Amino acid sequence: MSKLKNLEELFHHEIKDLYSAEKQLLQALPKMAEKAADPKLKQQFEAHLQETEVQKQRLEQVCEILGITPGRIKCKAMEGLIEEGEEMIAENAEPEVKDAGLIASAQRIEHYEISGYGTAAHFAERLGQQEAFRLLSETLKEEQAADTRLNKLAKGYINQKAQEADK
Ligand SMILES: [Fe+2]
């Protein structure tokens, strides 16, 4: 691996990492949607799948602006988060309990992405990459909104249903 010499190179590295993360998530979200028992949760996963497709395209735009290629970096953190999500998908659990578990996995993923996009957006701003900053901030807002929606579902009724699943 070549040496990262400055913030710009680190920024490029972060963008490639995010691109890998989004690509991996595009593979995982349909499985999460399929396994979600609650219709609103299912709908939320399906909506986020479409958002994720757009987020991947935004990163392609950012790469174009920066004159870099996404490359073959594999985001190992997302790989691990998805692996845990898949364990939950395969878990022998009451449907209501599984839904609560899927939300827990999905929120871990969202928080990871929020952190990644927050950093990348700040790097873009510092480096004077206004258009990249705008694109990354847009995705950051979407990830935050997705996290809030999951929180509302969990705290609204899904966790309660999981609590009462065996009654
Ligand atoms: Fe995303």
- For the stretch 17-59, pLDDT in tens is 999 999 999 999 999 999 999 999 999 999 999 999 999 999 9
Residues bordering ligand 1, an ion, CB closer than 5 Å: 52, 55, 113
d(CA 165, CA 96) in angstroms, rounded, equals: 6
pLDDT digits (tens, 9 = 90+) for 59-106: 999 999 999 999 888 999 999 999 999 999 999 999 999 999 999 999
pLDDT bucket at 147, cuts 50 / 70 / 90:
very high
What is the arithmetic mean of pLDDT over 148-167? 96
**Residue 77 to residues 62, 74, 80: CA-CA distances in angstroms?**
22, 9, 5
In degrees, rounded to 5, the angle at the alpha carbon of residue 133 between the alpha carbons of residues 7 and 75 is 60
**22: CA distance to ligand 1 center in Å?**
5
Q: Count other C-beta atoms under 10 Å from residue 71's C-beta.
A: 14
CA distance 54 to 60: 10
Cβ neighbors of 51 (< 8 A, separation 6 or more) are 142, 146
| pLDDT value of position 11 | 98
Report, as an integer, the average pLDDT of 128-147: 98
Query: Alpha carbon of 82 to those of 2, 136, 142: distances in Å?
Result: 28, 22, 19
From the CA of 98, how far away is ligand 1's center (Å)?
22
Buried-state track 84-111, b at ≥16 Cβ within 10 A, e below 16: ebeebbeeebeebbbbbbbbebbeebbe
pLDDT at 2: 79
The pLDDT of residue 71: 82
Q: What is the pLDDT of residue 1?
A: 62
How far away, in angstroms, is 1 Cα from ligand 1 center? 26
* Residues 132-156, mean pLDDT to the nearest whole number: 98
The span from the CA of 17 to the CA of 19, in Å, is: 5
pLDDT at 111 (0 to 100): 98
Q: Tell the burial category of 58 from Cβ atoms under 10 Å away from its Cβ (0-12, 13-18, 19+).
A: buried
- 59 CA to centre of ligand 1 in angstroms: 10
Ligand 1 centroid to 72 CA: how many Å? 18
